Amino acid sequence: MSSLAARIALFLLSLPALAGAADLGVNGTTLVSFEQRSTPGFERQRVIPATQFLGIDADHLGNPNLSLHLYGWGRVDLADRSTDEKYTDGDLTYGYLRYLFPTANGEVKAGRFFVFDGVSAEHVDGVSARADLARGFALSMYGGAPVRLDRADDNKGDVIIGGRVSYRIPSLFELGFSALHEKGVTNGQTTDLKDHRQLVGGDLWLRPHKTTEFSGRISYNTATDGVAEQSYLLTVRPSAPLSVAGEYSRYRIKDYFAATNIRSLFNPDTGDNVQYYGGSVTYVIAKPAEVTVSYRHYNRDITGNSDRFGGEGRLTLLDNKCRAGLSYFRTEAPTGINSYHEIRGYLLHTAAKYTASVDTIAHLYDDKIFGKNTAFEVQGSAGYRLRPNLKLSGDLSYGQNPQFNDELKGLVRLTFNYDFIKGAGK
Amino acid sequence: MTFPKLFLPVSIVAGIMTITACSHIFSTESSLPAAHPEAVGEGRVACSECHEDQIKGVLKPYATFNHSQLFVKEHRFYAGSNDKLCASCHATSFCNDCHANELEIKPSIKLGDRPDRELIHRGDYMTRHKIDGKIDPTSCFRCHGRANNEQCIVCHK
């Protein structure tokens, strides 16, 4: 809770800065959900968590290029505990100052932010900078402290730095090289890991012809001396309505899972490897109708071969006001207990004031799980726009599955999105 | 000359050299806009319906970023090297509906009024996660291997 108090204090400290902003955007979602769980052999549970998501974007903070961005959530349980932890919880997802340069896509950030760049997919308290350089080069860098979890955070180090450099030839080619180093990582009981996490990698985008694109990425874990991941995607669009894609990925668990904080689950010490390949074909029959069929073959050293295949169709009608979808997928594993059929269908209608949708999903397991071989959920949702920037909606769902004899869930949702511009209306 | 006396002329020369070097080092192209100039409608967009040629600053065709079924499923290939472009239309919080350090609510529940969105873990995923995790644990690891796993730890200690 002290951590939550610190986050609230940080938010309050930022309010004077927000007052000076020329443009202020406030958006959020308030969720109050109701769930009744009936598990064989256990007392019936009733959980009513109330969760508030809140985002604030303040632009033109004394300078047209300077902005502040905050986003986070808080939750209070109004009945039984909704999680295994506390009755209240929250998180500051991000909070950073950003300066955008008018040229070169230059950007500097300071605060808490996410980095998705090459080998980096990190949550950092620190600073980052990026810019396009002359002659097709680009450079990005970041550094700071990794954001820790409330529990089981021994996989996060004290300091992290990383970056990516790339070279581009317009509409033809991009080659990137990226690296990260995290110091002070405690990886638990193991023999061949060091006290740091270090990844280097490359990414490639290639468009040899206007119909063909190739993307690839590879990462090498220098702390465990092995190729953690290699993934490749080839896309061919021979005509406007048709696209065909092929993919291949391979992971060495020892190197890919090395820095997990749940070693008992993501056991990196097994010497296991996972690879998969497959493809998909998408055909746009007419602009509102699209059909995709896909196949993927998995091979894992310790569990053998598995396949997932199926198809889905999507319809977009009435000038995007009506959207519908239907899909079927089959997962075929070496054992029946891991094989199942999945069928899903949905229909969504949006009007100026109202929205309504129904969504159904069912799973048919080859072998019984906890005495059942079917699971289904039906969910209905209806919404009413009280004002252009304020929408009230509610969901109600009912299901049966191997976990629960009956699962009844309800949710009320208030979504808002307001922009305040100084001088507007004058 | 002592160091304090040297400091001013050295600073001026260094400043001039830095500005001169930067004018050659950095691209002179205009930056991508901080936000899409017009509101983009709900549902999947096809950038190439309105734009032609290539995106300035990314140097790739608009058609590469059309939000097709394939693009949505494989968006990690594009986001990992073009997140600046993503940010032109999407606030970071859009990504955080699924990708977060700490998040208790399944995306399909938070966005239960948007069944058309491609959201994972729909329905009874408690049963299915055991199967999917056995077949391909790397798909779990991307989001839950190092973060956002405080609910995983309840059972997987």
Sort out which chain A residues have CB atoms less than 8 A from B110's CB and list them. Answer: 29, 31, 53
pLDDT for A1: 45
Q: Which two tokens stand for residue A151?
A: 């529990």
Q: Give A147's DSSP letter.
A: P
Partners of residue B33 in chain A, C-beta under 8 Å: none
A363: confidence class by pLDDT, cuts 50, 70, 90 = very high
Tell which wins on pLDDT, A14 or A279. Answer: A279
Of A130, A381, A401, the CB nearest to B112: A381
A182: contact with B, CB 8 A cutoff: no
In whole angstroms, what is the distance from residue A360 CA to residue B89 CA? 30
pLDDT-derived band at A297 (thresholds 50, 70, 90) equals very high
Report CB contact under 8 Å: A31, B110.
yes
Show the tokens assigned to A273.
């490897």
Lowest mean pLDDT among A143-157, A198-212, B94-108: A143-157
- Quick check: A186 pLDDT over 90? no
List the beta bridge partners of residue A30.
A52, A414
Q: How far is A243 from chain B (nearest CA, A)?
A: 9
| B64-68: average pLDDT | 90
Contact criterion met (CB below 8 Å) for A63 and A80: no
What residues of B are in contact with residue A131 (Cβ under 8 Å)?
26-27
* pLDDT, position A287: 80
Tens of pLDDT, residue by residue over A142-163, are 999 999 887 766 678 899 999 9
Q: What is the DSSP letter of A8?
A: H
Interchain CB distance below 8 Å, A312 and B69: yes
pLDDT at A277: 98
Tell me the shortest Cα–Cα distance from B6 to chain A, in angstroms.
Answer: 31
Dihedral of alpha carbons A260, A262, A264, A265, sign: negative
Q: A370 in helix, strand or coil?
A: coil
Instruction: Using a CB–CB cutoff of 8 Å, tell me whether A222 touches chain B.
Output: no
Mean pLDDT of B51-79: 88
Query: DSSP state, A7?
Result: H
- Lowest mean per-residue pLDDT among A42-46, A161-165, A352-356, B151-155: A42-46
Interchain CB distance below 8 Å, A71 and B42: no
Give the span between the Cα atoms of A290 and A305, in whole angstroms.
Answer: 30
- Cα separation, A290 vs B86, whole angstroms: 24
Nearest to A50 by CA among A417, A412, A392, A416: A412
Q: Are strands A322-332 and A88-100 parallel, antiparallel or unpaired?
A: unpaired
Instruction: Determine the residue of chain A that is closest to B22 in CA distance.
Output: A133
The answer, yes or no, to whether residue B7 has pLDDT greater than 90, is: no
CB atoms closer than 10 angstroms to residue A44: 10
**Within a 10 A sphere around the Cβ of A307, how many other Cβ atoms?**
16
Contact status of A344 with chain B (Cβ, < 8 Å): yes
- Are residues A133 and B99, on separate chains, in Cβ contact within 8 Å? no
Element (H, E) at A3: helix A2-13
β-pair partners for A52: A30, A74
Taking the CB of residue A176, how many other CB atoms lie within 10 A of it? 22
With 90 as the cut, is the pLDDT of residue B132 above it?
yes
Q: What is the pLDDT of residues A222-267, one digit of tens each?
A: 988 999 999 999 999 999 899 999 999 999 999 999 888 888 888 8
* B143: nearest Cα among B99, B77, B93: B99
pLDDT at residue B1 in the model: 47
Are A383 and A393 in contact, with CB atoms under 8 Å apart?
yes
Element (H, E) at A153: none
pLDDT value at residue A21: 67
- Average pLDDT on B119-127 reads 93
Distance (Å) from the C-alpha of residue A9 to the closest C-alpha of chain B? 19
**Contacts with B88 (C-beta within 8 Å, 6 or more apart), sequence order:** B32, B33, B34, B35, B36
Length of chain B: 157
Q: For residue A33, give the nearest of B108, B20, B115, B2 by alpha carbon.
A: B108
Please give the average per-residue pLDDT across A20-31, as a whole number: 88
Per CB-CB distance under 8 Å, the chain A contacts of B157 are 264
DSSP secondary structure, A155-217, as one string: TS-SEEEEEEEEEEETTTEEEEEEEEEEES----S-SS--SEEEEEEEEEEEEEETTEEEEEE
Tokens matching residue B73: 């499923």
Name, in order, each residue with C-beta under 8 angstroms of A25's C-beta and a sequence gap of 6 or more.
A55, A56, A57, A58, A59, A417, A418, A419, A420
Give the pLDDT of residue A81: 84
pLDDT above 60 (res A211): yes
Chain centroid to Cα A379, Å, comes to 22
CB neighbour class for A113 (10 Å; exposed up to 12, middle 13-18, buried from 19): buried
Cβ distance of A117 and B83 shorter than 8 Å: yes
Choose, out of B44, B53, B70, B155, the residue to mutate when testing the contact with A (most A CBs < 10 Å): B70
Between A134-143, A352-361, B78-87, the lowest mean confidence (pLDDT) is in: B78-87
A40-49, B98-107, B124-133 — most confident range: B124-133
Please compute the mean of the pLDDT values over residues A333-350 and round it to a whole number. 93
Q: What is the largest CA-CA distance in chain B?
A: 78
pLDDT band (50, 70, 90) for residue A425? very low
User: Is the minimum CB–CB distance between B56 and chain A shorter than 8 Å?
Assistant: no
Binding-face residues of B in 104-123 toward A, CB within 8 A: 104-105, 109-110, 112-116, 122-123
Q: Which two tokens stand for residue A95?
A: 């909070």
Binned at pLDDT 50, 70 and 90, residue A12 comes out as low
Mean pLDDT, chain B, integer: 86
Check pLDDT > 50 for residue B120. Answer: yes
Residue of A135, A201, A131 whose CA lies nearest to A162: A201
Crossing angle of helices B137-144 and B125-135, rounded to 10°: 110
Q: Which residues of chain A have a CB within 8 Å of the CB of B156?
A: 262, 264-265
- What number of other Cβ atoms are within 10 A of residue A88's Cβ? 12
Average pLDDT over residues A123-142: 94
- pLDDT at residue A256 in the model: 94
Q: Residue A426: which pLDDT band, with cuts at 50, 70 and 90?
A: very low
What is the full DSSP assignment across chain B?
--HHHHHHHHHHHHHHHHHHHHHHHB--SBPPPSS-SSPPPSS---GGGT--SEETTTTEEGGGG---HHHHHTTHHHHHHHHHHHHHH--HHHHHTTS-SS--S-HHHHTTT-TTS--SS-S-HHHHHHHHHHH-HHHHHHHHSSSS-TTHHHH--
| CA distance linking residue A265 with residue A33, whole number of Å | 30
DSSP H/E element including A358: strand A354-369
Which of A22-26, A167-171, A339-343, A385-389 is least confident?
A: A22-26
Interface A-B, measured as beta-carbon pairs within 8 A, has a size of 295
Query: Is the CB of A361 less than 8 angstroms away from the CB of B105?
Result: no
Q: Which of residues 72-91 of B touch A (CB under 8 A)?
A: 74, 77-81, 83-84, 91
Task: Check residue A249 and give its pLDDT.
Answer: 98
- Note every long-range contact of B106-112, with CB atoms under 8 Å and residues 24 or more positions apart, other chains counting: B109/A33, B109/A395, B109/A409, B109/A411, B110/A29, B110/A31, B110/A53, B112/A359, B112/A379, B112/A381, B112/A395, B112/A397, B112/A411, B112/A413
122-151 in B: which are within 8 Å (CB) of A? 122-124, 126-128, 131-132, 134-138, 140-142, 145-147, 149-151
The complex scores an ipTM of 0.88
Which tokens in the block code for residue A326? 């239907």
Q: How far apart are CA A159 and CA B122, in angstroms?
A: 36
